[in-house]
Amino acid sequence: MAIAPLTPELLRAFPLFESLEQADLERLLERHLASALGEDQLLVQESDWGETLFLIRAGLAKVRCFSPDGEEVVLCLLGPGDVFGEMALLDEKPRSADVLSLTPVNLVKFSGALFRQLMLSRAPLSLAIAQLQSKRLRELNRRFAIHSADASTRLLNALAQLACLSQSGANVLSVFPALGQRELAAIAGLSRETTSRTLSKLRERGYLEETAAGMRLLSEEPLKRRCLL
């Protein structure tokens, strides 16, 4: 995936970094590392110690942990412009969850020590991190609330989320990379069999199409009916 080298101007376009002065952006970029990785790569491992903040420039990732009986629990999806790895920097504890790529990803790694140093001296950056945490808690609340909904609602919610995250400016009807049924099942919190049945139902009703470019929801109507929009 060809992607332009990161400049202070490009970095400032990401919400977390928009308050930073040119000199701060340059300091962050002096020690950054860009990498391109394939799908299904472990980007961060739960319980590891880590001193890096990550920015996703392209691609999709999932944050996951495991239940005590070994079942994968997807906590959150991440896409272009999202950062991760900030929790271990903030509380100086091991990584709270695994982060894995769902598609090929372009990542930028920043020095956690420098980022923490900037947070101590730049109040707007600290506020931006607090806002990020608040946004994540809202998303988790929403995910928790949807957990007892029917299979169609949970799968539609997962598909709409993937569509919105797939690229900047995307919406629920945007094309997104076709993921396997096992992956969609984990994201929606459903069994594979239920996911397969529900996908067929959505296709038959004309709500979902799969082409060489990827998957796409074809109507907002089932989302609106379920208060997902």
Angle between helices 181-188 and 151-165 (to 10 degrees): 110
Contact stretch for ligand CMP (CB under 6 A) within 5-13, 96-104, 157-165, 173-181 = 96-104
Give φ, ψ of 34 to 5 degrees: -100, 140
CB of 58 to ligand CMP, least distance (A): 18
Map residues 14-33 to x or -, x wherever contact with ligand CMP holds by CB under 6 A.
--------------------
Question: Using CB under 6 A, which of 36, 87, 164, 170 touches ligand CMP?
Answer: 87
d(CA 167, CA 153) in angstroms, rounded, equals: 23
Between 102 and 199, name the residue whose CB sits nearer to ligand CMP: 102
d(CA 62, CA 76) in angstroms, rounded, equals: 6
Cβ atoms of residues 121 and 24 within 8 Å: no
Between 46 and 209, name the residue whose CB sits nearer to ligand CMP: 46
Q: Based on the shown chain and the rule CB under 6 A, indicate whether residue 85 belongs to the binding site for ligand CMP.
A: yes
Q: Based on the shown chain and the rule CB under 6 A, indicate whether residue 96 belongs to the binding site for ligand CMP.
A: yes
Count CB atoms within 10 A of the CB of residue 148: 8
Map residues 120-139 to x or -, x wherever contact with ligand CMP holds by CB under 6 A.
----------------x---
Q: Based on the shown chain and the rule CB under 6 A, indicate whether residue 95 belongs to the binding site for ligand CMP.
A: yes
Q: Based on the shown chain and the rule CB under 6 A, indicate whether residue 76 belongs to the binding site for ligand CMP.
A: yes
Number of residues that bind ligand CMP (CB under 6 A): 16
Cβ atoms of residues 108 and 34 within 8 Å: yes
- Pairing outcome for strands 72-78 and 83-84: unpaired
Count CB atoms within 10 A of the CB of residue 133: 13
Cβ atoms of residues 181 and 196 within 8 Å: yes
CB of 106 to ligand CMP, least distance (A): 17
Residues that bind ligand CMP (CB under 6 A): 44, 50, 63, 75-76, 84-88, 95-97, 99, 136, 140
